Amino acid sequence: MLPPAADFDELRRGFAWRLPARFNIGVDVVDRQPADAPAMIVDHDDGRIERLGFGAVKRASNRLANALRALGLARGERVAILLGQGPETALAHVAAYKLGAVAVPLFVLFAEEALRFRLADSGAAMLVTDAANWPKVAAIRDVLPALRHVLVVDGGGIDGTHDFAALQVAARDDFAPVDTAADDPAIIIYTSGTTGPPKGALHAHRFLLGHLPGVELPQRMFPQPGDLFWTPADWAWIGGLYDVLFPAWHHGVPVVARRFAKFDPEAAFALMARHGVRNVFLPPTALKLMRQAPGRGGARARLRSIGSGGETLGAELLDWGRETFGVTINEFYGQTECNLVVANNDDLMPVRPGSMGRAVPGHAVAVVDETGRPLPDGDTGIIAIARPDPVMFLGYWNNEAATRAKFAGDWLLTGDIGRRDGEGYFWYQGRSDDVITSSGYRIGPAEIEDCLLRHPAVAMAAAIGVPDALRTEVVKACIVLKPGVAGTPELAREIQDHVRTRLAAHEYPRLVEFMDALPLTATGKVMRRELRAREPVLVPQPPRPDGGPP
């Protein structure tokens, strides 16, 4: 989508949106691709390598779309997808889009309570999952009256469900996709905020097209001949789906799929070398873990581009990336509601350590005050994006009040604090809300606090992020116990497990502090900023003389 250019200013001048009135993501990323072109390399845990072409993906997605329609799925209904990286995940999305249904990706590490809320709030009519995740759904299905059908991958014989493979075998492989407008709903991605439950960001089919410049720029004018894309980011999140999978398929570029139960830096190096991966999205935590890995695995990888986002990269990590891979890590910025709007590209402009980059062509990004008034360069304020914008969400699902609160006039307020310098570079400085950023995940405290309060020993609770050298932040629970309950190490571990088994492994509090009282406002709201202010400031440690991690 981006035109060739000698520098960034020329690129911006030469760009203009050309958006069709009718557009369907499923048709775009699969049906219009050459049938014999490679689409996916699946690297299985047992060492098997599975290769799929676009023709096979088209036929399989058509069969699944026919099967879903036969089960009664109607246009506009929601299809939840509880799967990790793999072909079934992509097929479920593509089939839903072709049907005019709305996909709802769900993270496999979510436990029962987290799943129950999202399935109930979205009113999901169908769910595609696997045998490993089915027990969590089975435990809550009775309280999900809208959930009519569950399809289970590798789950033949499970009572009350449909066998994913059997349904596909019985279905036809030709399908006439629904004619959708570019502005028709396509996907709900749940994001966490600071107050209340998680919110579902509803996006239209044009959402994919809006992503393309923000992928192409940091991935060094992607695509180029021979490109092959991979990310360890889960395909339940916007980073895995729309920073990698579907933009790659839009351009006919194959992707590598690998389900890592836990990120292993040496395995990541080996995977990239084994398949000749050329383009990657690596969250900062993954980069930090790879930097600490022994040996020089990066020497075996032949990467053409590296994008990273979610946390600010420092000069040291940028230098390590250049030394290890021979390319500059290009940072980018966005959020679930409006993604990939700021980015770097070392070929077209100098990368300044600590800066997120400049506004991606096609997006109007500014620093504003709370009323939406743009501030002069150098002033600190709220990073904001002007509407209309093709990558911007339609609104929060079933939450008009939250949607209105997200805007000041025609500016979408990200809630992130930063400044823009005189040359257009954006510098992130903090958050105006209390979202916790840990290992690339944005975690809202409200859901954690609600879970903590369900523990019989907890009277009051607050969840905050505290600095961590590896994960940027880790979750800390500040807890006031009920009268007569002693705050012991055993109880702290019990409370940690209570959250871990009910929400998700990345959301459980790694730190627990028992307190006599929490700081409150006059209206009884917890003052999380005061709790954060009590925490020590993390002082970066220099690397050891031998080059190892601090």
For the segment 64-73, what is each residue's pLDDT rounded down to a tens digit?
A: 999 999 999 9
Among 204, 239, 267, residue at a domain's last position: 204
Strands 329-335 and 407-408: unpaired
In a domain, 428, yes or no: no
In terms of domains, do 35 and 122 share one? yes
Asked if the model's pLDDT at residue 431 lies above 80, the reply is no
In terms of domains, do 459 and 346 share one? no
Q: How many domains does the chain have?
A: 3
In terms of domains, do 13 and 35 share one? no
Which are the contacts of 166, defined by CB distance < 8 A and separation ≥ 6?
Answer: 156
In terms of domains, do 102 and 200 share one? yes
More confident residue, 338 or 535: 338
In a domain, 297, yes or no: yes
pLDDT at 195: 54
Domain that holds residue 358: 1-19+207-365+383-399
Question: What is the tens place of the pLDDT at every residue in 247-283?
Answer: 999 999 999 999 888 888 999 999 999 999 999 999 8
Asked if the model's pLDDT at residue 549 lies above 50, the reply is no
In terms of domains, do 249 and 132 share one? no
In a domain, 424, yes or no: no
In terms of domains, do 391 and 290 share one? yes
In a domain, 105, yes or no: yes
In terms of domains, do 191 and 281 share one? no
Asked if the model's pLDDT at residue 33 lies above 50, the reply is yes
Classify residue 137 by burial, with Cβ atoms within 10 Å: 0-12, 13-18, 19+.
Answer: buried
Question: What is the tens place of the pLDDT at every residue in 131-156?
Answer: 999 999 999 999 999 999 999 998 77
Q: Inter-axis angle of helices 284-292 and 315-325, to 10 degrees?
A: 60
Among 187, 204, 221, residue at a domain's last position: 204
pLDDT at 26: 98
By three-state DSSP, how is residue 257 classified? strand
In terms of domains, do 57 and 153 share one? yes
In terms of domains, do 144 and 198 share one? yes
Q: Is the pTM of this model over 0.85?
A: yes
Among 154, 180, 204, residue at a domain's last position: 204
pLDDT at 521: 61
In a domain, 376, yes or no: no
Which are the contacts of 10, defined by CB distance < 8 A and separation ≥ 6?
Answer: none
Distance from C-alpha of 460 to C-alpha of 335, rounded to nearest angstrom? 30
Q: What is the CA radius of gyration of the chain?
A: 23
In terms of domains, do 310 and 342 share one? yes
Asked if residues 185 and 169 have their Cβ atoms less than 8 Å apart, the reply is no
pLDDT at 544: 41
Asked if residues 455 and 495 have their Cβ atoms less than 8 Å apart, the reply is yes
In terms of domains, do 290 and 177 share one? no
Q: Which of 390, 287, 379 is nearest to 338 (CA)?
A: 390
SS (H, E, C) 193-232: CCCCCCEEEEEECHHHHHHHHHHHCCCCCCCCCCCCEECC
Domain with 118 in it: what CATH number?
A: 3.40.50.12780
By three-state DSSP, how is residue 494 classified? helix
Question: What is the tens place of the pLDDT at every residue in 180-206?
Answer: 999 999 999 998 654 568 899 999 999
Classify residue 371 by burial, with Cβ atoms within 10 Å: 0-12, 13-18, 19+.
Answer: exposed
Burial letters 261-297, b for 16+ CB under 10 A, else e: eebebebbbebbbebebbbbbbbbbbbbbbbebeeeb
Domain with 462 in it: what CATH number?
A: 3.30.300.30
E strands of 115-172, at which residues?
126-130, 149-153, 162-163
In a domain, 431, yes or no: no
In terms of domains, do 239 and 198 share one? no
pLDDT at 538: 54
Terminal CA-to-CA distance of the chain, rounded, Å? 42
In a domain, 316, yes or no: yes
In a domain, 113, yes or no: yes
Among all chains, which residue has been given the structure tokens 């075996």? 300
pLDDT at 116: 96
Asked if the model's pLDDT at residue 540 lies above 60, the reply is no
Asked if residues 232 and 254 have their Cβ atoms less than 8 Å apart, the reply is no
By three-state DSSP, how is residue 282 classified? coil
What number is the average pLDDT over the span 163-187? 97
